[in-house]
Homo-oligomer: A and B are copies of this chain.
Amino acid sequence: MTPDAAVAGTTGPVVGVVGGGQLARMLAEAATPMGVHLRVLAAPSDEGAAEVVPDVVVGRADDPAAVRSLAASVDVVTFDHENVDHGVLEELEAAGVAVRPSLRTLRFSDKAHQRREFAAAGLPVPDFVVLDGTDPAADADAAGAFAERHGGRVVVKASRGGYDGRGVWMLDAASVGGFVTGWSGAPLVLEPRLDLLGEVAVLAARRPSGEVATWPVLETVQVDGMCDEVVLPAPVDASVADRAAEVGAQVAEVTGAVGVLAVELFVVAGATGPEVLVNEIAPRVHNSGHLTIEGCATSQFEQHLRAVLDWPLGPTHPTAPVAVMVNVVGGDAGDPRDRQAAALANVPEAHLHLYGKTSRPGRKIGHVTVLGAERGAVRARAREAADLLAGVGGSTP
């Protein structure tokens, strides 16, 4: 079906999505029941959405002409990822196109910009220093001094281009100066390596008219800097949960977000008890929120569409005492679509989500969500289903 034919039969809103990965795929799953028409700009190499979305426009997200053309044919433009040419978005906004989230919000994907703005707004952030590379010798000195001040344990992050643990380095006082001197990429952000009590995430959704909804705070379990597992509810005191929700709503306001926004938070020991610090944000639907599909009254994907269309937001309460999501990561075992029956034989209550992506080591190719009553048991069941899909572990029948 050609794009024009697809839209000829619709009178509902048309949402354009820049990028065609699994987030676009799951947005499409949410769009269909609501009668919202999705048009996806997908690069030939994108996998995920094209298999299941009839209205795909082939083009690259970093090609201004492709983005301009998509924008001209839809009611609102939103994003599967943030690697989009900012110049064309500025031009579209000036022309009155509904770009949601806006360029102002997308600029917060730059970690240096984010840290400076959040600190200025009084949001809780770790100590940090930005090294912009204009004076390498001064940068190296500043890095050494920062490391000394924090017991020699620092994290160095590229301000742009990192994801899933890439663009992040754990260094010490002896090595950080040399690293900084030898670096020639985007500005760097240095932060202390913190002793974490845990990591949590809070999702918020915001409409252009200002309405904000947050989901219950989630526990995120990271492995090698990549999200591995998410648990609802997070095992934190009510004071931490309340503070996390408050920070999530503040970040939505400070960034002027429209749509869903994910805020990843560190939980650290403070003077009077546990405190949260903003780790990273993503101005879009996010891996930490996948369990909202079955585990909350309104999923992040439906809520994102409602928010960018400026429709009323839905309730976010949990649908079960415990929900656990485990990512399915590619390995050597081939396509997980050969193993659904085995996974369901062992864990019939598992909600499988496969993204239609080629399995490669370290690549997120799907996820599993399990709902239930007891945290330990639900975690074990979700892990078992994900391992069976990924083809790891010894329990495959």
Instruction: Point out residues on A near B: beta carbons under 8 Å.
Output: 1, 6, 9-13, 25, 28-29, 32-37, 47, 50-54, 56, 297-298, 306, 309-315, 319-320, 335-338, 340-341, 344-345, 348-349, 351-356, 366, 371
Taking a contact as CB atoms under 8 Å apart, the answer to whether A311 and B338 are in contact is: no
Determine if A34 and B312 form an interchain contact, defined as CB atoms under 8 angstroms apart.
Answer: no
Which residue in B29, B35, B312 is a CB contact (below 8 Å) of A33? B29
Contact yes or no, A348 B32, CB < 8 A: no
Tell me whether B51 and A311 are in contact (CB under 8 A): no
A349: chain B residues within 8 A (beta carbon): 297-298, 314-315
Q: Are B348 and A312 in contact (CB under 8 A)?
A: yes
B337 touches A12 (CB 8 A): yes
User: Mind listing 21 A-B residue pairs with CB under 8 Å?
Assistant: A1-B50, A1-B56, A6-B51, A9-B356, A10-B356, A11-B338, A13-B337, A29-B33, A33-B354, A35-B352, A35-B356, A51-B54, A53-B54, A54-B54, A54-B56, A297-B371, A309-B341, A312-B344, A314-B348, A315-B348, A319-B319
Whether the pair B297, A340 counts as a contact (CB closer than 8 A) is no
CB distance from A389 to the nearest CB of B (A): 9
Total identical chains: 2
Q: Which residues of B contact A56 (CB under 8 A)?
A: 1, 54
Q: Which residue of the partner chain, among B32, B311, B335, B336, contacts A341 with CB atoms under 8 Å?
A: B311
**Chain B residues, Cβ within 8 Å of A310:** 341
Given contacts A11-B335, A311-B341, contact A32 B54 (CB under 8 A): no
The chain B residue with its CB closest to the CB of A37 is B51
Question: Whose C-beta in chain B lies nearest to the C-beta of A52?
Answer: B32
B12-A335 in contact (CB<8A): yes
Q: What distance in Å separates the Cβ of A259 from its nearest Cβ neighbour in chain B? A: 16
